Amino acid sequence: MFGTGVTIITTRSGDGTLRGLTANSFNSVSLSPALILWSLARTSSSYEAFAQATHYTINVLAADQLQLAQRFATRGIDRWAGVAHEAGAGGAPVLPGSAAVFECAHRAVHEAGDHVIFIGEVLACSHTPDTPPLLFHGGQFYTELPLAPAVTDPLA
Ligand SMILES: Cc1cc2nc3c(=O)[nH]c(=O)nc-3n(C[C@H](O)[C@H](O)[C@H](O)COP(=O)(O)O)c2cc1C
């Protein structure tokens, strides 16, 4: 019942293999320095790649990237087939069209039960204005529905 955004977190292994998974555990930690966190299941097929990674990219998804979110949460497929991407910091893939992008350097890892918590330092970030977000709540995907009317200009 905790509504979140949705990200795809990506990295590039030493042998050049691209890895990525859909994750909603992303959150902000610190402003100075700029730190973020996310958690990864130990059982994930991406675990070894991220445990070794020096850099990763947090791609915050837009509503029209729903199919990418589903694809990067599916086991046993080539998640990268036909997916456009550019190299971000450390070669970690950036997904064009994302609502926001955080290019991160690995800083710390904390063991936490059946997950590990990664803390990354934001080296670069960008966003696409006026992009409807992809949201996740109660096991379903959504996009935004404003609760208040847009602010009107009193001088207009
Ligand atoms: C909305 C959503 C959020 C998810 N968040 C996480 C997460 O924060 N951490 C995690 O390890 N897996 C998360 N998953 C599952 C991963 O996407 C996972 O990679 C997927 O189940 C496939 O397993 P694999 O990583 O072993 O290939 C999430 C899945 C969905 C659909």
Per-residue pLDDT of 51-62, as tens digits, reads: 999 999 999 999
Q: Is the pLDDT of residue 156 over 70?
A: no
β-strand partners of 133: 62
Output the residue whose Cα is nearest ligand 1's atom 4: 23
Angle at 87 between CA 86 and CA 89, to 5 degrees: 140
Structural contact between residues 29 and 35, judged by C-beta atoms closer than 8 angstroms: yes
**pLDDT at position 112, please?**
98
Q: Which of 25, 11, 6 is nearest to 91 (CA)?
A: 11
**pLDDT at position 151, please?**
77
- The lowest-confidence range among 33-47, 113-127, 140-154 is 140-154
Angle at 123 between CA 51 and CA 73, to 5 degrees: 45
**pLDDT at position 146, please?**
87
Domains of the chain, by residue range, sit at 4-143
- Residue 71: DSSP 8-state: H
Mean pLDDT of the chain: 96
Output the residue whose Cα is nearest ligand 1's atom 5: 23
**pLDDT at position 66, please?**
98
Q: Is the pLDDT of residue 9 over 80?
A: yes
Output the residue whose Cα is nearest ligand 1's atom 25: 44
Output the residue whose Cα is nearest ligand 1's atom 14: 23
Cα–ligand 1 centroid distance for 32 (angstroms): 29
Atom nearest to 26 CA in ligand 1: 8
State the DSSP H helix or E strand holding residue 72, giving kind and residue range, or none if neither.
Answer: none
Output the residue whose Cα is nearest ligand 1's atom 2: 23
The C-alpha atoms of residue 74 and residue 79 are separated, in whole angstroms, by 8
Tens of pLDDT, residues 143-152: 999 888 877 7
Give the residues surrounding ligand 1 with Cβ less than 6 Å away.
6, 21-25, 39-41, 44-46, 73, 75, 136
Q: Which of 84, 34, 75, 60 is nearest to 132 (CA)?
A: 60
Cα–ligand 1 centroid distance for 153 (angstroms): 43
Mean pLDDT of all residues in 1-23: 97
Cα–ligand 1 centroid distance for 14 (angstroms): 22
**pLDDT at position 148, please?**
86
CATH superfamily assigned to domain 4-143: Electron Transport, Fmn-binding Protein; Chain A (2.30.110.10)
**pLDDT at position 149, please?**
81
Residue 154 — very low, low, confident or very high, per pLDDT cuts 50/70/90? low
Q: Is the pLDDT of residue 41 over 90?
A: yes
